A and B are shown apart, each in its own frame.
Chain A
C-alpha cells in the first residue's frame, strides 16, 4: 500500500517523476534535479515534506519525559517557539532517529521525526512514556512544505496575512510560530534561509499553487539530498542508524552533558564511549577530479579503514563531496584514499559541511 501526500496531484501537474520513498510516492525530480538544486541555492525552491511525521507531546510530564527521551536537553528551551535538533537513542547508545523538537510550554511540545522511522519511533516513545503523565498524538492531518533559498522568505511573505507577517518578522533561526492556520518555522534541510510550513491538509494544495504562482520552483527528493549533503546534514539510515553512536555521526553537539544528573536514555553508554575516545567520527571528503563518491565505498587511511556514508556530486561546487565515517585519528586536511570503481583515488578530508548560504565553507 503506497501512501500519497495531499500534494500528490500537484506534483503530477508539474511533471514530477515519482518514486517510492519508504512507502510514500514522492517526487524525485520535476525534470532536472540539478536545476532544482540551483533554484534553492540562488532563488527559492519548495519541497513537499508532508510525509514527515508530526507528533505532539502534551501533559504535565512532557518536559520530564523529553529530558529522558532525547540526548539534548529540552530544559534549554525557555522561549515559546524555540526549536532544538537532537537524537533519540536506544539503550545501547545507537540512534533510533534524529528529530526536531519545538517548545511551546513545559507541557506542550511538537516533534517532527522521519517518515521512514515513523512506526518504530512511535512505538519507542509510547514504551518510554510508561509512568509519565502525558499524551503522544500523531498529527497526520497536516501537509508540510519547506520553502528554501535566499528569496524564500520574501516569496512566502507575499502569501501571508498581516498578522502572520508580524509574527515572522525578525524570527531567528530554529523558531516556529502558529499563526492563523499556518505553523511557520525557520528550519530547513538545505543550508539556506527559509521556512518549513505546516498547513492543514485542506489548505495545502492552494498554498502550494500560490507558491508556484510567485515563482517558487518545485523541487524533488533528488535535489533535497544534494542540498542537505552539501550542507553537511545527516540523513537517517545512511549517515547514522541504530548501530551508530551519535559521537560517530557528527551529533555530539546535540548532546547535553550538563546537568550531569539528567538521566537520558543511552547516557551511560555515551559516557563510556567518550571516555574511551575510540569512536569513529564523521568527516567530509572532497574529490576535485572526475568521479562521484558514493555511499558504502571504502575509505583507506593510515589509521585504518572507514566508509562513505553518503556521497554525491555537488552541483554548487562542481565536484563530488561525501560524508564518511573514519577512524578518530584522521584529521581535517589529511589526504586519504577511496576505492572507486576498482581504483584508488585521493580525496581531501574536511569538516563535514561544504556549502552554507550559497557559499563554499571548507
Chain B
C-alpha cells in the first residue's frame, strides 16, 4: 500500500493538494499514481498566469509507459510551476509528495477544498479501481 499523507487533500484522478494558506495550494500526483505510471520522462506544465477551472486537463505527465493528463483540482490561477521537473522529471517518482510537486494555484473559492477527498476517502477510491 502506498503512502497517503493525512494532511493532504485528494482528487479521484490522483492529484494531491496541499493547503498553503491564504488561498494558495500546491498540487502534485500521488505516490500511487506515479507507481502506476512508472519512470517519468517529461512533465508538460501549465503556464504561470493561466486561469483554469476544476477538471480542466492542464498538465501532462509522460512516463516511459504512458502519457497521463493531470486535471485542475479546483478553479483558480496558476501562480508557480515546478521548473526543476524540466531537467529532473524523476522527482515525481522519487518524491511524489515533496520535490515532485507540479504547480501552485491561487484558488478562486477556498471553499472548494472541502469538495476534495481526505486521505481515507482517497484510499477507498484506490481500492475501488
Residue numbers of A with Cβ under 8 A of B are: 28-29, 32-34, 222, 226, 290-292, 294, 312-313, 315, 341
Complex contacts, B80 vs chain A, CB 8 Å: none
Cβ of B38 and Cβ of A290 under 8 Å apart? no
Is the C-beta of B110 less than 8 angstroms from some C-beta in chain A?
no
CB-nearest residue of chain B relative to A29? B38
Is the C-beta of B93 less than 8 angstroms from some C-beta in chain A?
yes
Cβ of A313 and Cβ of B38 under 8 Å apart? no
What's the minimum C-beta distance from A28 to chain B, rounded to whole angstroms? 8
What's the minimum C-beta distance from A336 to chain B, rounded to whole angstroms? 20
- Expressed in whole angstroms, the Cα–Cα distance for A338 and B67 within the complex equals 15
Q: Which of B42, B64, B66, B90 contacts A290 (CB 8 A)?
A: B42
Q: Which of A33, A291, A294, A315 contacts B38 (CB 8 A)?
A: A33
Do A292 and B62 contact each other (CB < 8 Å), given the known contacts A32-B93, A341-B67? yes
Do A222 and B65 contact each other (CB < 8 Å), given the known contacts A32-B93, A341-B60? yes
- Expressed in whole angstroms, the Cα–Cα distance for A315 and B62 within the complex equals 13
- Expressed in whole angstroms, the Cα–Cα distance for A28 and B65 within the complex equals 11
Size band of the B side of the interface? 10 to 19
Q: Assuming A29-B39, A312-B64, A315-B64, what are 7 further A-B pairs, CB within 8 angstroms?
A: A32-B90, A34-B41, A34-B90, A222-B38, A226-B64, A291-B42, A292-B67
Complex contacts, A32 vs chain B, CB 8 Å: 39, 90, 93
What's the minimum C-beta distance from B70 to chain A, rounded to whole angstroms? 13
- Expressed in whole angstroms, the Cα–Cα distance for A32 and B34 within the complex equals 12
- Expressed in whole angstroms, the Cα–Cα distance for A290 and B38 within the complex equals 18
Contact sample, A vs B, 23 pairs, CB 8 Å cutoff: A29-B38, A32-B39, A32-B90, A33-B38, A33-B39, A34-B41, A34-B90, A222-B38, A222-B64, A290-B44, A291-B62, A292-B41, A292-B62, A292-B64, A292-B67, A294-B66, A294-B67, A313-B41, A313-B42, A313-B62, A313-B64, A315-B64, A341-B67
Complex contacts, A33 vs chain B, CB 8 Å: 38-39, 64
- Expressed in whole angstroms, the Cα–Cα distance for A329 and B94 within the complex equals 45
- Expressed in whole angstroms, the Cα–Cα distance for A315 and B39 within the complex equals 10
Q: B53-81: which have CB < 8 Å to A?
A: 60, 62, 64-67
- Expressed in whole angstroms, the Cα–Cα distance for A341 and B69 within the complex equals 10
Do A34 and B39 contact each other (CB < 8 Å), given the known contacts A222-B65, A291-B62, A292-B62? yes
- Expressed in whole angstroms, the Cα–Cα distance for A290 and B62 within the complex equals 9
